[in-house]
């Protein structure tokens, strides 16, 4: 296992400690609940936006806490939903008179934990609600499963809700924004390699030297099919097709395109994908008015990428443009 780790069982608290040390003015860290909350705490005049999920998707979740984004977040073990108490304590630490919106990526473990935590918080008089994000087009919804997965589109939900909340919008309004973003965002990913959770020590799945998994989930869940690796343009065209047809997006739409790296893919390769996606979007008549190329929702060191398209309107564009400050930063 080629990783920078000490005791694998302590991997999550150790990296959270590092994030907190690196952001002393921005964040407070509560090790007991693997929870990070804005240093300034919740503001009773503003809705709090919280999230939490398994680790291994960074910068998603705790690295998205800060002004303009999340109020607080908690982490589970790598790829495992956080403990119920972590979720409950995060809601409590972010409790605000204006209410708390819990943004949950749609996975069964996460949903159950946040369901319980939200029920407990509501029972204590906290005005908390949940919203489920499910932008992944790879897996079809089904009566028998918990439904579509929440993946990189999550970033846009957090960003827009965070901006709306900080602008003083009400809980109903912020929830309506979450719904608007979720209704207008679609994603599909492809994995070229597997990845190794530190505590497991072995790859989460096996994949041949010349194979890729199209439609992979962010925990290595199988997608639509396993096939021979293709050129960047062919892969991009396949992702684009799947994503674009789902809502569907229409000619004339103003859109944001995100090319998200799954962790082990260099940014240059993401730009090769972006170039093709941009061309296809223009060919389809979309106006590409925003773009996001980099790592937003990862699977540890997995080589791979996902393509997200978000349909915009004046409201969402303004929310995307609002300033935000998180542990994920360059300067």
Partner 1 sequence: MAEISQADIERAIKTTCATVLRNEHYFADLDGLAGDGDFGTSLATGFRQIEKEWDEIPKTDIGAMLLKISMIVSKHVGGSSGPIWGTGFMKAAMLTRGKSEIALQDLAQMLGSAIEGIQARGGAQLGDKTLLDALIPVHEKLTAQAAGGDKAAALKDAAEAADNAVDETRHLVAHRGRASQVGERSANTPDPGIVAIATILQDWCKDCGVERTPTAPEVVKATA
* β strands within 106-241, DSSP E: 128-133, 185-191, 211-214, 225-228
CA dihedral in degrees (57, 60, 65, 67; nearest 10)?
Answer: 160
- Given the complex with ligand ADP, which of 40 and 108 has the nearer CB atom? 108
DSSP 91-110: HHHT--TT-EEEEEES-HHH
Pick the catalytic residue: 17, 61, 219, 278?
219
For 102, residues 6+ apart whose C-beta sits below 8 A from its C-beta are 50, 51, 87, 91, 114, 117, 118, 128, 129, 130, 131
Residue window 195-224: x/- pattern of binding to ligand ADP, with contact defined by CB under 6 A: ------------------------------
Binding interface with its own copies (CB under 8 A): 2-6, 11, 14-19, 21-22, 55-56, 58-59, 63, 159, 192-193, 209, 212, 229, 231-233, 235-236, 263-275, 278, 291, 293-295, 298, 300-301, 303, 305, 320, 323-324, 326, 328-331
- In whole angstroms, how close is the CB of 300 to its own copies at the nearest point? 5
Contacts of 143 (CB under 8 A, 6+ apart): none
The reply to whether 219 belongs to the active site is yes
Compare residues 168 and 266 and give the one whose CB is closer to its own copies: 266
Supply the DSSP string of 274-325, one letter for each residue: HHHHHHHHHHTT-EEEEEEEE-SS--TTB-EEEEEEEE--HHHHHHHHS---
Sign of CA dihedral 328, 221, 279, 135: negative
3-state secondary structure of 244: helix
Distance CA 29, CA 73 (A): 10
**4: CB partners within 8 A, 6+ apart:** none
Minimal distance, residue 308 CB to its own copies, in Å: 14
Nearer to its own copies by Cβ, of 215 and 264: the residue is 264
Interface residues with partner 1 (CB under 8 A) are 54, 76-77, 79-86, 88, 108-109, 112-113, 115-116, 139, 144-146, 149, 197, 199-200, 204, 217, 219-222
Considering only residues 86 through 145, tell me which ones interact with ligand ADP, judged by CB under 6 A.
108-109
Rule CB under 5 A: choose which of 70, 78, 80, 137 binds Mg ion.
Answer: 80
Is residue 177 close enough to count as binding Mg ion by CB under 5 A? no
Of the pair 53, 265, the CB lying nearest its own copies is at 265
Task: List residues binding Mg ion (CB under 5 A).
Answer: 80
Task: List residues binding ligand ADP (CB under 6 A).
Answer: 108-109
* Active-site annotation, residues: 57, 219
């Amino acid at each position: 296992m080629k990783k920078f780790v000490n005791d694998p069982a302590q991997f999550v608290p150790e990296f959270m400690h590092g994030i907190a040390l690196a952001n002393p003015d921005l964040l407070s860290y509560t090790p007991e609940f693997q929870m990070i909350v804005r240093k300034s705490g919740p503001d009773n005049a503003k809705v709090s936006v919280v999230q939490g999920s398994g680790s291994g998707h960074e910068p998603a979740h705790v690295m998205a806490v800060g002004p303009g984004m999340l109020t607080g977040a908690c982490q589970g073990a790598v790829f495992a939903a956080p403990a119920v108490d972590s979720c409950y304590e995060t809601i409590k630490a972010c409790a605000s008179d204006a209410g708390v919106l819990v943004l949950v990526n749609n996975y069964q473990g996460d949903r159950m934990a946040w369901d319980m935590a939200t029920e407990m918080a509501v029972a204590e008089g906290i005005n908390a609600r949940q919203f489920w994000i499910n932008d992944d087009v790879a897996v079809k919804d089904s009566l028998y499963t918990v439904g579509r997965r929440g993946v990189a589109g999550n970033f846009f939900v957090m960003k827009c809700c965070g901006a709306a909340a900080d602008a003083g919008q009400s809980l109903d309004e912020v929830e309506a924004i979450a719904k608007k973003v979720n209704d207008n965002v679609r994603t599909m990913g492809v994995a070229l390699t597997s990845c190794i959770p530190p505590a497991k020590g072995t790859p989460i799945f096996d994949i041949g030297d010349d194979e890729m998994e199209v439609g992979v989930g962010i925990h290595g869940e199988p997608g639509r099919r396993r096939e021979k690796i293709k050129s960047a343009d062919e892969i991009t065209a396949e992702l684009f097709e799947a994503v674009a047809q789902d809502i569907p997006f229409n000619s004339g739409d103003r859109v944001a395109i995100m090319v998200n790296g799954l962790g082990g893919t260099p940014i240059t390769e993401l730009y090769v994908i972006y170039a093709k996606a941009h061309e296809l979007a223009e060919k389809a008549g979309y106006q590409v008015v925003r773009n996001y190329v980099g790592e937003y929702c990862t699977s540890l060191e997995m080589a791979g990428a996902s393509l997200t398209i978000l349909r915009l309107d004046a409201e969402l564009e303004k929310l995307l443009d609002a300033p935000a400050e998180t542990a994920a930063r360059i300067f």
